[in-house]
Structure 1
Amino acid sequence: MRAIDRAAQTNRWRRRPAAEKALIFIGLMLVSLIAAGWIGQIVILMLVLCLVLGAARVAPRDLRAAAVVPAGFILAGTAVQMITLHWAGGPEVVGPVVGIAGPEMLSAAAFTGLRSITCVVCLIGLALTTPLTSLLQMVQRRGLPPTSRIWR
């Protein structure tokens, strides 16, 4: 968390309004969820990386550190989607059989993984460019009660 806070406090977009950054990154995430093709996902992913690394000048090591755990989780989930398990009953084999899914399922799993990575990178981009206090102030101005009233 310290690396994310440090990156959020020291990037070039620190002075930009939190609502502006939220609109950019959450908007790109929504476009990613709506986009149906591979090219759209890749373009959005590259755009977010350019914004975070290029425009906001977040250090690549900070982005890598923030993304390694979610990316590992997504890659593991994608790998599981690419495996099929069925029950085979025959003269020699009785029991579960593990195999690789068909081409349609492989493509669907890879696309789901790419879309997931794109959406997570959008959220990480928002976290690395906007301090948490700015996000909380923004949502409090929009009607979220102060945190002291939430925990009572």
Structure 2
Amino acid sequence: MQIDTFGIYVRAELDHWGFEFALHRDVEYLGYASRSVLQMLIDHRGEMPELSKGYKPLETDSRAQKIEDIVTAISRTHRSMAICLRGYYCARGRRRVERYETALMLLTNAGEPVMSATAYLDLSRRGEERVRGILEGLAMAA
């Protein structure tokens, strides 16, 4: 009996992607002040520092960005599958309950038909297999 190490790798990469692109973290980088002016004056000993010019771009991990690019490519041909992958890996809570509800909300917002929990889990599994196929193709090419 052989252990499917590449399948374990794919699931680990998808879990890492889900952590980096977590849906509940969407509002963390919107530019809300994390420090008040008073705290800034305290930190700089009473002097106001000069304002930074421009915005710092949002940084993402290259491993997670590779999976995000793959899921984006999947969404061009099969939007429901990509949404189910996002719900399954990027949402919070139990996979069959809260993450399913998040996937339903994403499907509704995208104008896609609502599906049962069994169909959601099946589509997530098939999406995982498609990501695996693309990663295998990338590994063969390298």
Q: TM-score, normalised by structure 1?
A: 0.29
| Greater fraction strand | 1
Q: Comparing both structures, which one devotes a greater share of its residues to helix?
A: 1
Q: Highest relative contact order (Cα 8 Å, sep 6+), 1 or 2?
A: 1
Per the normalisation by structure 2, the TM-score is 0.30
